[in-house]
Amino acid sequence: MGSALVALVMAVGLLGVLVPLLPGTALILVAGLAWAVLVQETGTGRWVVVLVMTALLVAGIAAKSCRRCMQFTADIHACRARQPFPRAEARRSTVQVLQAVGLGILAELTAGLLMVGTWMVGVLVT
């Protein structure tokens, strides 16, 4: 019963990556930590699972942030370099920003899926 509840919370976390009003990968990590403390009460394997999930969370955030920062910095530079801003340039810049946001979501979703997969392996192994 406990693992099923953890799985449900993790599913909400994955949905939260796509819906900005819900918490995303952080909720997945909290659910994994709750599993390690409340459900899987013995063994060191549970802490290995939490540690790997934490590393995946950090990697996902880094990938998401790095891509966004580079892209938005380039767009701000392009905006400032050419005033007034031509319509075609505005369209190109908008597409670049949307691509950067999409790649950020993809990075976080990948991290979330890997976190859930790590937890599932942990459930089977421990």
State residue 43's pLDDT score: 85
Are the C-beta atoms of 118 and 53 separated by less than 8 Å?
A: yes
- How many domains does one find in the chain? 1
42 is in which domain, residue-wise?
Answer: 2-125
**For the residues 82-103, what does the mean pLDDT come to?**
72
Report whether pLDDT(27) > 90: yes
Taking the C-alpha atoms of residue 50 and residue 67, their distance in angstroms, rounded to an integer, is: 26
- Tokens 């670049």 correspond to 96
**For the residues 15-22, what does the mean pLDDT come to?**
86
Are the C-beta atoms of 49 and 126 separated by less than 8 Å?
A: yes
State residue 104's pLDDT score: 84
pLDDT digits (tens, 9 = 90+) for 34-89: 999 998 878 889 999 999 999 999 998 888 776 555 556 555 555 555 556 566 77
Q: What type of residue sits at position 28?
A: I
Are the C-beta atoms of 13 and 31 separated by less than 8 Å?
A: yes
Whole-prediction pTM value?
0.79
Report whether pLDDT(111) > 90: yes
Q: Work out the percent of the chain whose per-residue pLDDT is above 90.
A: 45
